[in-house]
Structure 1
Amino acid sequence: MLRSKPRPNARLWLAAGALAWALGGCSAPAEPEAAARPVLVVHPDAAGDAGAWTFPGEIRAREESALAFQVGGQLLRREVDAGAHVTRGQILAEIAPDDLRLQQQSAQAQVAAAEAEYTRARTDRDRYAALVDQQLVSRSQMDAQDAAYRAAQSQLRAARAQADVAGNQAGYTRLRAPRDGVIASREAEAGQVVAAGQAIFMLAGDAGREVAIALPESRIAAFAVGQAAQIELWNRPGERIAGTIREISAAADPQARTYAARVALDADAVDGVELGQSARVTIAAERADDGLLVPLAAIQPGPEGGKAVWVVDPATHTLQSIPVETGAYGARMVPVRSGLSPDALVVAAGGHLLRVGQRVTPVDRENRPYRLDASKPAASE
């Protein structure tokens, strides 16, 4: 007797049952919840350190003069060198005076000749005046003598003026210091032929010291002449010197797009401050926009092309994206005009790696966790 083969449907049901049993006994475990991500948070700042700007600078003299001869010639000798302290009227250099002295002597000789001609013309006029009274010469001859006298008088004045010029030029062969100061640099050597007006020395006057800095074009409206500043020298860290902005350039540098400015040091604080030293200037800048300040990196792209910031929800430790309206961007901070409360915990960095609803652990700039209920670092000072 032949055994009947199982029907295809029966075999299909048996295979399905075996597969279901295998899957039921080998189910995968549930995926663990992702750990909370640490994020740096700050409170929006309405004033204080957020409005402080720091600029590198260099110590310069308030009065810097390029010293030059008023006449040209060969530089005969140089009396001082760079770094020397000089006083007003001190001789700094001299050019060869021979040619100028000869010109002075020539001018003096022309004066002597003009004086002799003037004397002769005056004598002739006086003699003709006596003859006119006696009616021995005509009136026209007397008028000619008067004209010759006035011409001789004018020539004498011109000769004396030329002699004065020649005398001054002879005195210009010596270059003197116009004020007390320090020779910052020298630009010529003995034996060199120099032209009138060519710089020989650069003199840094003793009357005051300043720091030369450059202000950013984007925030130039926040600075003004007379604004207070603090100066810190690189070789004297931690020591602050008071100062004020003395001048701001009216035009920006065409390449750097910055405005040159000078910060004057207080007169009683210039002792020990040397020319050329590096310095750091801190200015409490006035903000042009009202609102709270947040770090530049806190601003993220918002919906429909707007701006937003990440804010930590204290109740759930999760992130929320808050649309905001910002003002003009600064170098480090951005004013937020609306959309943000002063007590909000704003994520200050790494916003491009975050998402809405993500669980986070807020920390401060010293990597200390925040107590969200008190909005303060959990660690004690």
Structure 2
Amino acid sequence: MHRFFLPACLLAALSGGCGKPAPRQVPPLRVEAVRAQEEPIPNRMSFIGYLSSNFDAVIQPRVNGFLASRHFANGMPVRRGQLLFTIDPSQLSTSMLAARAELESARARALEARNNYDRAVPLARINAISQSQFDQYTAQFRAAEAAVQSAEQALRNARMNVSYTELRSPIDGTISNTSAHVGDYVGPGTQFTVLTTVSNTDTMTVDVAIPMSQYLRLAGGRTSLYDNEGLLSDIRLTLADGTRYPGEGFYSYTRKDIPNATGTLVLVVAFPNPDGTLKPGQFAHVAANVGPVRPHVVVPQRCVIQSQGQASVWVVGPDSTVRYRRIEPGGTYGDMWCIDRGLQAGEAVVANGVQKMRDGAKVIPEIR
């Protein structure tokens, strides 16, 4: 009996020495968490475009003639009333002198006709002349007066044509270049029917294209596609070098056509440009709030994990267990991310150490 006792003890000792120790339990990880909040967030959209002048004034000669001089430098600012071009007035001045001579001749004929009429009136009263002769004197007098009025109008037209030989800027703005040179024959019917343009730069405009699907969602029940006053707010402009233009923009109007290729509604926004900082053709990055302010569920951007086109967060449950959850993020607002689907206000999400999380793990959340 004793000879079996030692091997049994030895077997027990060996079996006890070869056994695996119990696994160590990993303590819960302490993590920072934040609660999703519901806040009224404007729908901020960004647009890319180019600045354009508010309108262009086309400088067209009204009379024909040889270009005598030009009084501006290409691309420079001009003031309203500033002389831009001079057309040789010689031929038109001759026409004006001829019109003046014709007026004097008409006045002389009218004076003769009036004298004849005045002498015929008393003779007609005593029947010294026939009624037909009196009617003839009356008609001649009235025709002579009409000829004077016609000659006066011809002289006014001739004077106006002479004044048209000086072309002045109708607005303040920046003038373009011209292809006409001194000595060219310009005016209606020539190759120089347009000499140049003056662009108004007191206000600059940018086209803002909103996809029709987004417009219908954000329009807030508007009955007309062209009544978009108040749709945009807090309109800001960023220039190509990243600087922010200090002036705030405003809605101007909606273009009447919707491009078939893009299916977008084009709104025109304007920016005051009193000191001429903005130039036509300049690159413009425009950001604006579109539509009414609506409540959104928001979390800090550092809480959202983005990978392969998917967005997700780690949600801390009431039992301090973390769960992986996919979400649909919307736009950003400051350092916050708007969540369209997948998260409710009040739920806690992990804000740091997201790489160490595993689904179902226990954590010690420090909720802020």
The aligned residue for residue 314 of structure 1 is: 316
Q: Does 1:144 align with 2:136?
A: yes
CA distance in 2, matches of 1:215, 1:62: 18
The aligned residue for residue 43 of structure 2 is: 51
Q: For residue 83 of structure 1, what is the amino acid of its counterpart?
A: G
Q: Is the 8 A contact 2:36 2:297 kept in 1?
A: no
Q: Is the 8 A contact 1:249 1:261 kept in 2?
A: yes
Q: For residue 263 of structure 1, what is the amino acid of its counterpart?
A: A
**Structure of greater relative contact order (alpha carbons < 8 Å, 6+ residues apart):** 2
The alignment's TM-score, normalised by the length of structure 1, stands at 0.63
1:338-349 aligned at under 5 Å gives the runs 340-342=343-345
**By how many angstroms is 1:137 displaced?**
0.7
The aligned residue for residue 68 of structure 2 is: 76
Judged with a 3 Å threshold, the aligned counterparts in structure 2 of structure 1 residues 313 and 205 are, in CA distance, closer, same or farther, namely closer
Q: For residue 144 of structure 1, what is the amino acid of its counterpart?
A: Q
Residues 297-356 of structure 1 show CA distances to partners (whole Å, capped at 9, x for unaligned) of 99x9xxxxxxx985644355443467x9x9xx99999984x774135689xxxxxxxxxx
CA distance in 2, matches of 1:134, 1:101: 51
The aligned residue for residue 216 of structure 1 is: 210
Q: Does 1:88 align with 2:83?
A: no
1:281-320 aligned at under 5 Å gives the runs 281-287=286-292, 312-315=314-317, 317-320=322-325
Judged with a 3 Å threshold, the aligned counterparts in structure 2 of structure 1 residues 271 and 121 are, in CA distance, closer, same or farther, namely closer
**By how many angstroms is 1:172 displaced?**
0.6
CA distance in 1, matches of 2:338, 2:140: 85
The aligned residue for residue 272 of structure 2 is: 265
CA distance in 1, matches of 2:254, 2:356: 44
Query: How many residue pairs are counted as aligned between the two chains?
Result: 299
1:1-381 aligned at under 5 Å gives the runs 46-48=39-41, 51-196=43-188, 198-205=193-200, 208-218=202-212, 219-220=214-215, 222=219, 224=229, 227-235=233-241, 237-254=242-259, 255-256=261-262, 257-265=264-272, 267=274, 270=275, 272-287=277-292, 312-315=314-317, 317-320=322-325, 336=340, 340-342=343-345, 361=355, 373=365
Q: Is the 8 A contact 2:316 2:347 kept in 1?
A: no
CA distance in 1, matches of 2:297, 2:38: 5
Say what the alpha-carbon RMSD is for the aligned residues.
Answer: 4.3
CA distance in 2, matches of 1:372, 1:247: 55
CA distance in 2, matches of 1:65, 1:98: 27
The alignment's TM-score, normalised by the length of structure 2, stands at 0.64
**By how many angstroms is 1:175 displaced?**
0.6
Q: For residue 204 of structure 1, what is the amino acid of its counterpart?
A: S
Q: For residue 107 of structure 1, what is the amino acid of its counterpart?
A: A
Point out where structure 1 has 5 or more consecutive residues left out of the alignment: 1-41, 301-307, 347-359, 364-370, 377-381
**By how many angstroms is 1:128 displaced?**
0.8
Identity %: 21
Q: Is the 8 A contact 1:124 1:145 kept in 2?
A: yes
Judged with a 3 Å threshold, the aligned counterparts in structure 2 of structure 1 residues 238 and 133 are, in CA distance, closer, same or farther, namely closer
